[in-house]
């Protein structure tokens, strides 16, 4: 640029008219990303969320293969090896009945994670369908459903699940049913609100004016716009479901022995706390890190999938 | 405003009625009955069933129950001989209420303060400390917190008693265990809300008037940021109260939670019903109060409800 | 006329995740006492950032001054402390924001928001404060001021909210008012009312006004002098007549061609300026407008043009003014001034 500062030395040839530069005038230096590509990039950039994802993957791996890694059965009682501390024989020690804690922790992980994921997925599907239909079609159906949901929403969640558990008896499927019976209501409310919000936006009106069918509007406009929020909601709900399973098992209503879950392990750990604190510390570590990982992942997903946050850093 | 309160009251009453009905049906669906374990002669058993009205059709039982409820009578426990449900609730509820209030006030006040400190020191070490506390709080279930507090502060260092509920020092550990999760949640919410408000245009307007930073934070930012926190107070009361179930059993506190869990395990129909209805009504009313409170704080809702 | 505000070679940038955005690049202008000066340009050209620099409302960080100076009545603003700035904001320079819907605190009564300017200065008693607020509400044309005083923003219409915003900007009796697109979010009839009000008040109170807009119609109606901004620079400045009748920059000419006027015949098509403004992450080394300019020459892509002075007040940043360049007569000259 220096050479142009003295105006007397400018070459006259530079004053040829060349006109517009059509490539430069539309130039946008930032790359063009689709919604999902952008979301994936954000998740990867968010270290905490990525670590959360890795922890979940590792725990799922151990939940599947962990119990097979040694020769103990999670129900096998051994009265000569009660309350043993961590050793090369028993990697996480043994409990008050001499059962191997490594095997029990991963068996518990299998149960707890299955319940956590399955119940939230079912919640999301049922709640999503009800909320979506109610929100999209509106009318009397919507009015009726929403009054119904308003009333149900006020009923304390855990109390109803406790009673349902008593009716159905302990077990994994009862737990899932108990959580879904009350859990879908929150999702339905939330999805309905989102559908209503999107439905009233101008791009949907524009699509309608162009004669796009209801089905296509739902698939092409509504679902892509609320998918991110639903997935985020789902991620955030999994730790809550695991939490509830642990709670129900803790008060003696969830999983019944000899089957075990993280809630059961924590309960027997607290019983032995005064003498053998490791029996609480070890399962607690896994419960807490799972919650932590899911919370971090959920936070990351929220930041990554919220369309309103796109383009900001 | 009056109409708004009336409407809320109506929905709340309806919710309680639905709750009673659902619980009534669920309790009757429960397998087994309270007398099955007691090895009674068929005669006594029949007498007992007649006494509690089980020989009548379900619908009559239901109507009788509702009638009694309206005069505040929850009936008699089936397991605790000669004790009315009312007296059991009257004995145990004060413990739960006291614990719940302590947990709630600790968590809400500290949660708001922690969130505030974090937002005002965004990106500095104080912010990270509060984020870490918040993440731990939302990741550690209350029974684990309870167990850990008991182990370290009670057993290992002997600073506080680990069981019973007989004085101020007894209340410390259970209140913290109970409130920690909510504290974390409130602080996260408050922080996020503060950071959102600070980006609002009206903060810039306030700045353009040349008023002090302190006044902007105090008069404009906090006042608006606290709104979303008020909306979650209802669910918060619910989660703290259900939390008492576990905390009471860990710390051996003779509150309602303990009785509730026992009644469920004993299939003590009347006690389950009575306690559930009491709990539920309490929460529904708490929710309603929060809603009305919110309406009073936020001028936008105050008008809409008129 | 005395110069009340002198901006010299102002550079302001933002550090963002994606790099440094040079929002304002070497902007210089003066504001005289009692005049209305307009700043016009597309979104993202740096006009709002420039205005907010004057009262330091840009968030710092991520924003920071890269150089230049802003002098208000001889005092340097860019190096003032927070406390010194507080004595400028509101009482010396008032600010009217773009969106009245979001610029008022929803949980504070209108009257309180107006009075707030004085609360910490402790000049007036409570009663005097209230009187002052009600008087200013009347002045900006709000009927039933006593009742409005006690209402919350959501109880007012959009036009009324903007009147309240103007009241807030005026109540401290400032020497300069900066109005950042004050009518963009209002409908056309309300826009006219608000502009008339602003002009009336300016005459009555003898304040200087910096009016930011993207609408040349507003400029024609309101302003004495105009700055045309593009890509973080002032590409042309002059009296309103210079800009409308003796256009010297192809961008200004493009702006004039892209609006309709009463003279525009039915067959005539409006000519938009094709393309998008440059990305200020990496501004071009040459003229920022070159890529969209039909008269662009080789040199325009290679070097930033110097400022060519046409008359005392009129200057342009364009190579076409160089003696080697072909003489160009810009085709579009609308008679906007009279219409307005």
Cα nearest neighbour of A243 on chain B: B141
Residues C293, C294, C296, CA angle at the centre, nearest 5°?
65
3-state secondary structure of C315: strand
- What residues does A41 pair with on adjacent strands? none
Q: Provide the pLDDT confidence category of residue A24 given band limits of 50, 70 and 90.
A: low
CA-based nearest residue to C119, from B222, B198, B298, B214: B214
pLDDT at A311: 43
Q: Any CB–CB contact under 8 A between C19 and chain A? A: no
State the nearest Cα–Cα gap between C21 and chain A, in angstroms: 13
| Distance, CA of C10 to CA of C24 (rounded, Å) | 7
Half-sphere exposure of C277 (CA within 13 A, CB side): 15
pLDDT digits (tens, 9 = 90+) for A237-262: 888 888 888 888 877 788 877 788 88
- The answer to whether the CB of C204 falls within 8 A of the CB of C173 is no
* pLDDT at A99 > cutoff 70: yes
Chain B hits for C85, CB-CB cut-off 8 Å, are: 210
Interface test with A, best of C42, C254, C292, C307 (most A CBs within 10 A): C292
What does the alpha-carbon distance between residue B194 and residue B192 come to, in Å, rounded to a whole number? 5
Structure tokens belonging to residue C98: 């773009």
Chain A residue numbers with beta carbons less than 8 Å from the beta carbon of B283 are 154, 156
Interface membership of A8 toward C (CB under 8 Å): no
The residue count for chain A: 313
Residues with Cβ within 8 Å of residue A54, at least 6 apart in sequence? none
Token readout for B238 is 């619910």
pLDDT in tens, C169-200: 888 888 888 988 888 777 788 788 888 888 88
Residue C17 and residue A13: Cβ atoms within 8 Å? no
Q: Do B155 and A273 touch (CB under 8 A)?
A: yes
Average pLDDT of chain C, as a whole number: 82
Which residue in C212, C244, C253, C228 sits closest to C337, CA to CA?
C244
Q: How far is A296 from chain B (nearest CA, A)?
A: 8
Q: Are B18 and B284 in contact (CB under 8 A)?
A: no
Q: Is the pLDDT of residue C4 over 80?
A: yes
Looking at chain B from residue 211 to 230, which residues have their Cβ under 8 Å from any Cβ of chain C? Answer: 211-213, 215, 219-220, 223-224, 227
**In the beta sheet, which residues pair with residue C239?**
C225
> Within the 65-104 window of chain A, which residues sit less than 8 Å (CB to CB) from chain C?
none
| Average pLDDT over every residue of C64-69 | 84
Please provide residue C289's backbone torsions phi and psi, each rounded to the nearest 5 degrees: -90, -10
Chains A, C: CB contacts under 8 A, how many? 76
Residues in a beta bridge with C230: C233
- Is pLDDT above 80 for A136? yes
Terminal Cα-to-Cα distance of chain B (whole angstroms):
5
Query: What is the structure's pLDDT at B288?
Result: 81
Q: Which of A59, C86, A25 is nearest to B215 (CA)?
A: C86
What does the CA dihedral B258, B262, B264, B265 come to, rounded to 10 degrees? 140
Q: How far is the C-alpha of C43 from the C-alpha of C121, rounded, in Å?
A: 37
ipTM of the complex: 0.80
What average pLDDT does this structure show over A118-125? 92
Torsion angle, CA of B51/B52/B56/B60, rounded to 10 degrees? 130
Q: Which residues of C touch B218 (CB under 8 A)?
A: none
Question: CB-side exposure of C43: number of CA atoms within 13 Å?
Answer: 2
Q: What backbone phi and psi angles, to 5 degrees, belong to C34? A: 75, 15
Query: To 10 degrees, what angle do helices A278-305 and A101-137 make?
Result: 30
Please check whether residue B52 is in contact with residue B274, taking contact to mean a CB–CB distance below 8 angstroms: no
- Evaluate whether C46 touches C229 at the Cβ level (below 8 Å): yes
Say what angle helices B256-266 and B85-120 make with each other, to 10 degrees. 120
Residue ranges of C 217-276 with Cβ closer than 8 A to chain A: 274-276
pLDDT tens, position by position, C197-255: 888 888 888 888 999 988 888 888 888 899 999 888 888 888 888 888 888 888 888 88
Instruction: Determine the average pLDDT of the residues in B198-224.
Output: 85
**DSSP H or E stretch at residue C7:** strand C3-16
Cross-chain Cβ contact A167/B12 below 8 Å:
no
Q: How far apart are CA A166 and CA B264, in angstroms?
A: 7
Residues of B in contact with A274 (CB under 8 A): 151, 155
**Residues in B lying within 8 Å of A, measured between beta carbons:** 11-12, 14-15, 18-19, 22-23, 26-27, 29-31, 135-136, 138-141, 143-144, 146-148, 150-151, 155, 238, 241-242, 245-246, 249-250, 261, 264-265, 267, 272, 276, 279-280, 283-284, 287
Task: Calculate how close chain C gets to A311, using CA atoms only, in Å.
Answer: 10
Burial status of residue C204 (CB atoms within 10 A of its CB: 0-12, 13-18, 19 or more): exposed
CB C134 within 8 A of CB C169: no
Tell me whether residues B227 and C107 touch, CB distance under 8 A: yes
Res A58: pLDDT: 92
pLDDT category of residue A57 using cuts at 50, 70 and 90: very high
Query: Do B238 and A157 count as a contact with CB atoms less than 8 A apart?
Result: yes
Residue C334 has pLDDT above 60, yes or no: no
pLDDT at residue B127, as a whole number: 87
Pairing, β C176-180 against β C93-96: parallel
Is B39 at the interface with chain C, CB within 8 A? Answer: no
- Please indicate whether, in this complex, the C-beta atoms of C103 and B303 are within 8 angstroms of each other: no
Give per-residue pLDDT as tens, B72-121.
Answer: 788 888 777 778 888 888 888 888 888 888 888 888 899 999 999 988 88
Residue carrying the six token digits 């968590």: B107
Structural domains present in chain A: 36-309 (1.10.3720.10)
pLDDT in tens, C86-134: 888 888 888 888 888 888 888 888 888 888 888 777 778 888 888 888 8
Q: Which chain C residues are Cβ-neighbours of A17 within 8 angstroms?
A: 295-297, 326
Two structure tokens written together for C261 = 């006027």
Whether chain B has a CB inside 8 Å of the CB on C74: the answer is no
- Could you say which of B19, B139, B261 has the minimum Cβ distance to residue A251? B261
3-state DSSP assignment of residue B111? helix
Q: In which order are the strands placed within the sheet that holds C63-72?
A: C19-32, C3-16, C63-72, C75-76
Q: Is A25 in the C-facing interface, judged by CB distances under 8 Å?
A: yes
Instruction: Check CB contact of C119 with chain B, cutoff 8 Å.
Output: yes
Q: What is the sign, positive or negative, of the torsion defined by CA atoms of C94, C95, C100, C105?
A: negative
Which of B71, B89, B72 lies closest to B80, judged by CA?
B89
| C-alpha to C-alpha distances, A306 to A90, B201, B280, nearest whole angstrom | 46, 22, 35
Q: Beta-carbon neighbour count of residue C242 at 10 Å?
A: 21
- Give the burial class of A206: count Cβ atoms within 10 A of its Cβ; 0-12 exposed, 13-18 middle, 19 or more buried: exposed
For residue A122, is pLDDT > 90? yes
User: How far is the alpha carbon of C271 from chain A, nearest alpha carbon, in Å?
Assistant: 15
Residues C165, C169, C170, CA angle at the centre, nearest 5°?
A: 115
pLDDT band at A119 (very low <50, low <70, confident <90, very high): very high
The answer to whether residue A47 scores a pLDDT higher than 70 is yes
Could you tell me which of C259, C242, C249, C224 has the C-alpha nearest to residue C334?
C259
Question: Any idea what DSSP says for residue A272?
Answer: T
- Residue A151 touches partner B, C-beta closer than 8 Å: yes
Cβ-Cβ contacts under 8 Å between B and C: the total is: 83
> Judging by DSSP bridges, how do beta strands C36-40 and C225-230 pair with one another?
parallel
CA B122 vs CA A304, A306, B114, B118, B125: distances in Å: 21, 22, 12, 6, 8
Tell me how close the Cα of A273 comes to any Cα of chain C, in angstroms.
Answer: 49
Q: Which two tokens stand for residue B109?
A: 């006040």
Cβ pair B280:A156 closer than 8 A: yes
Q: Is the pLDDT of residue A121 over 90?
A: yes
Q: Which residue of A has its CA nearest to B131?
A: A296
| CA pair distance A67, A106, nearest whole angstrom | 6
pLDDT in tens, C25-49: 888 888 888 889 999 888 878 888 8
Distance CA C230, CA C233 (A): 5
DSSP designation for B220 = I
Confidence (pLDDT) at A313: 39
Tell me if chain B has a CB within 8 Å of the CB of A300.
no
Distance in Å, alpha carbon of C245 to nearest chain B alpha carbon: 37
Measuring CA to CA, how many Å separate B247 from each of A282, B159, B164, B254?
Answer: 20, 18, 11, 11
Question: What mean pLDDT comes out for the span B17-22?
Answer: 84
Band of residue A2 on the pLDDT scale cut at 50, 70, 90:
very low
Q: Which residues lie below 8 Å from residue C78, measured CB to CB, with a gap of 6+?
A: C53, C56, C65, C68, C69, C70
C237 vs C7: CA distance, rounded Å: 14
Tens digit of pLDDT for each residue in B132-144?
888 888 888 888 8
| Residues of chain B positioned with their CB less than 8 A from the CB of C107 | 223-224, 227, 297-299
What is the Cα–Cα distance from A101 to A107, expressed in whole angstroms? 9
């Amino acid at each position: 640029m220096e050479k142009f500062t003295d105006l007397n030395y400018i070459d006259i040839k530079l004053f040829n008219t060349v006109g517009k530069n059509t490539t430069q005038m539309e130039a946008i230096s930032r790359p063009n990303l689709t919604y999902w590509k952008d979301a994936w990039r954000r998740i990867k950039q968010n270290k905490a969320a990525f670590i959360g994802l890795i922890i979940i993957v590792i725990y799922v791996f151990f939940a599947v293969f962990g119990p097979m890694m040694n020769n103990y059965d999670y129900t096998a009682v051994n009265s000569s090896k009660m309350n043993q501390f961590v050793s090369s024989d028993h990697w996480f020690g043994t409990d008050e009945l001499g059962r191997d804690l490594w095997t029990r922790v991963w068996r518990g992980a299998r149960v707890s994670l299955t319940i956590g994921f399955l119940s939230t997925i079912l919640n999301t599907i049922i709640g999503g369908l009800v909320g979506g239909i109610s929100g999209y079609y509106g009318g009397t159906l919507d009015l009726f459903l929403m009054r119904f949901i308003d009333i149900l929403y006020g009923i304390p969640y855990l109390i109803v699940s406790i009673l349902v558990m008593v009716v159905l008896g302990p077990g994994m499927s009862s737990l899932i049913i108990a959580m879904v019976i009350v859990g879908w209501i929150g999702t339905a409310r939330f999805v309905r609100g989102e559908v209503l919000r999107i439905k009233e936006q101008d791009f949907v009106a524009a699509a309608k004016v162009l004669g796009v069918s209801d089905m296509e509007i739902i698939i092409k406009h509504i679902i892509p716009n609320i998918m991110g929020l639903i997935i985020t909601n789902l991620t955030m709900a999994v730790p809550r479901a695991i939490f509830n399973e642990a709670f129900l098992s803790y008060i003696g209503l969830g999983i019944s022995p000899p089957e075990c879950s993280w809630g059961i392990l924590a309960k027997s750990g607290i019983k032995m706390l005064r003498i053998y604190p490791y029996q609480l510390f070890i399962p607690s570590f896994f419960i807490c890190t799972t919650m932590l990982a899911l919370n971090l992942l959920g936070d990351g997903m929220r930041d990554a999938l919220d369309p309103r946050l796109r383009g900001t850093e | 405003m009056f109409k708004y309160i009336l409407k809320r009251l109506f929905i709340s009453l309806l919710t309680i009625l639905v709750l009673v009905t659902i619980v009534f049906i669920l309790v009757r669906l429960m397998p087994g009955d309270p007398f099955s374990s007691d090895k009674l002669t068929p005669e006594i058993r029949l007498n007992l069933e007649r006494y509690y009205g089980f020989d009548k059709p379900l619908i009559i039982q239901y109507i009788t129950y509702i009638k009694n409820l309206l005069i505040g009578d929850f009936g008699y426990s089936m397991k605790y001989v000669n004790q009315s449900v009312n007296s059991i609730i009257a004995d145990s509820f004060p413990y739960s209420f006291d614990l719940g209030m302590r947990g709630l006030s600790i968590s809400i006040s500290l949660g708001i303060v922690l969130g505030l400190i974090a937002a005002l020191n965004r990106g500095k070490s104080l912010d990270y400390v509060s984020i870490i506390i918040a993440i731990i709080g939302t990741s550690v279930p209350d029974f684990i917190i309870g167990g850990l507090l008991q182990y370290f502060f009670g057993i290992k260092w002997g600073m506080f008693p680990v069981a019973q509920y007989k004085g101020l020092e007894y209340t410390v550990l259970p209140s913290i265990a109970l409130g920690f999760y909510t504290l974390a949640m409130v602080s996260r919410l408050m922080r996020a809300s503060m950071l959102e408000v600070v980006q609002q245009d009206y903060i810039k307007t306030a700045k353009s008037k040349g008023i002090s930073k302190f006044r902007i934070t105090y008069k404009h930012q906090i006042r608006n940021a606290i709104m979303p926190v008020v909306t979650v107070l209802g669910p918060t009361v619910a989660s703290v109260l259900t939390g008492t179930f576990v905390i009471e059993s860990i710390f051996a506190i003779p509150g309602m939670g303990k009785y509730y869990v026992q009644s469920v395990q004993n299939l003590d129909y009347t006690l389950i019903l009575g306690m559930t209805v009491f709990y539920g009504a309490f929460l529904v009313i708490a929710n309603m109060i929060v809603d009305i409170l919110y309406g009073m704080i936020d001028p936008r809702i105050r008008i809409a409800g008129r | 006329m005395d110069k009340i505000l002198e901006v010299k070679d102002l550079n302001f940038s933002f550090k963002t995740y994606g790099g440094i955005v040079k929002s304002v690049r070497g902007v210089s202008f003066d504001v005289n006492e009692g005049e209305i000066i307009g700043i016009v340009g597309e979104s993202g050209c740096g006009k709002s950032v420039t205005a907010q620099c004057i009262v330091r409302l840009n968030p710092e960080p991520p924003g920071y001054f890269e150089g230049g100076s802003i002098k208000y009545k001889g005092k340097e603003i860019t190096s003032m402390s927070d406390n010194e700035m507080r004595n400028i904001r509101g009482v010396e320079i008032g600010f009217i924001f773009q969106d009245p819907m979001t610029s008022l605190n929803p949980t504070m009564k209108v009257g309180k928001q107006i009075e707030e300017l004085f609360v910490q200065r402790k000049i007036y008693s409570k009663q005097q404060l209230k009187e002052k607020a009600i008087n200013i509400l009347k002045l900006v044309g709000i009927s039933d001021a006593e009742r409005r005083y006690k209402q919350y923003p959501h109880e007012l219409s959009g036009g009324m909210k903007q009147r309240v915003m103007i009241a807030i900007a005026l109540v401290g009796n400032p020497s300069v008012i900066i109005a950042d697109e004050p009518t963009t979010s209002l409908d056309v009839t309300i826009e006219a009312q608000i502009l008339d009000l602003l002009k009336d008040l300016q005459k009555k109170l003898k304040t200087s006004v910096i009016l930011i807009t993207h609408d040349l119609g507003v400029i024609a109606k309101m302003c004495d002098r105009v700055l045309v901004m593009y890509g973080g620079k002032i590409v042309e400045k002059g009296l309103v007549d210079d800009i409308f009748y003796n256009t010297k920059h192809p961008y200004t000419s493009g702006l004039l061609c892209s609006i309709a006027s009463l003279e525009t015949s039915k067959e005539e098509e409006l000519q938009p300026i094709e393309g998008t403004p440059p990305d200020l992450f990496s501004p071009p080394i040459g003229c920022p407008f070159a890529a969209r300019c039909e008269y662009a020459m080789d040199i325009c892509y290679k070097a930033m043009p110097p400022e060519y002075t046409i008359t005392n007040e009129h200057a342009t940043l364009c190579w076409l003014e160089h003696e080697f360049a072909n003489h160009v007569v810009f085709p579009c000259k609308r008679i906007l001034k009279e219409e307005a």
